[in-house]
């Protein structure tokens, strides 16, 4: 079983739609939960992150973590064609030898069409 499961999609939505992207994980030691965005032929770039459980909002983006159900979500409001990319969840532990290791989901390919 993979430590992080993410539906690869692809997901296609019209401009202005609300997008919901999700991951589940199995490692209870994960404390930081990152969302990366990756455009074609580029490296991943950090979109936002949360520490432990809760919500975090940044403009049109909201990240949620429910540690009780080991569920990670990213919501995009008023989606734009420029949001078309692959979205990757990437949790990690705190402390220990592997504190720097990001464990990526497979990524969800999102297309927002005008």
Partner 1 sequence: EAGVTQFPSHSVIEKGQTVTLRCDPISGHDNLYWYRRVMGKEIKFLLHFVKESKQDESGMPNNRFLAERTGGTYSTLKVQPAELEDSGVYFCASSQDRELQGIHYEQYFGPGTRLTVT
Residues at the site binding partner 1, with contacts judged by CB under 8 A: 2, 4, 6, 32, 36, 41-46, 49, 51, 88, 90, 94, 97-107
Least separation in angstroms between CB 82 and partner 1 = 19
- Smaller CB separation from partner 1, 51 or 71: 51
105 close to 88: Cβ distance less than 8 angstroms: yes
Cross-strand pairs, 108: 87
Phi, psi of 82 (to 5 degrees): -70, -10
- Residue 107: name the closest of 50, 30, 36 by CA: 36
User: CB-wise, 75 or 104, nearer to partner 1?
Assistant: 104
The Cα 114–Cα 107 span in angstroms is 22
Q: Which is nearer to partner 1, 71 or 99 (CB)?
A: 99
Q: How far is the CB of 26 from partner 1 (least distance, A)?
A: 14
Q: What is the DSSP letter of 39?
A: -
State the minimum distance, in angstroms, from the CB of residue 53 to partner 1: 14
- What's the DSSP call for residue 57? E
Q: With respect to partner 1, which residue has the nearer C-beta, 62 or 103?
A: 103
């Amino acid at each position: 079983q993979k430590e992080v499961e993410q539906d690869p999609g692809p997901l296609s939505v019209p401009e202005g739609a609300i997008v919901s992207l999700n991951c589940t994980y199995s490692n209870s030691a994960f404390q930081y939960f990152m969302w990366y965005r990756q455009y074609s032929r580029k490296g991943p770039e950090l979109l936002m992150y949360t520490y432990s459980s809760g919500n975090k909002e940044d403009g049109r983006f909201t990240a949620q973590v429910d540690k009780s159900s080991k569920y990670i979500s990213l919501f995009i409001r008023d989606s734009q064609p420029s949001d078309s990319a692959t979205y990757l969840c990437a949790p990690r532990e705190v402390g220990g030898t592997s504190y720097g290791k990001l464990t990526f989901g497979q990524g969800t390919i999102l297309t927002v069409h005008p």
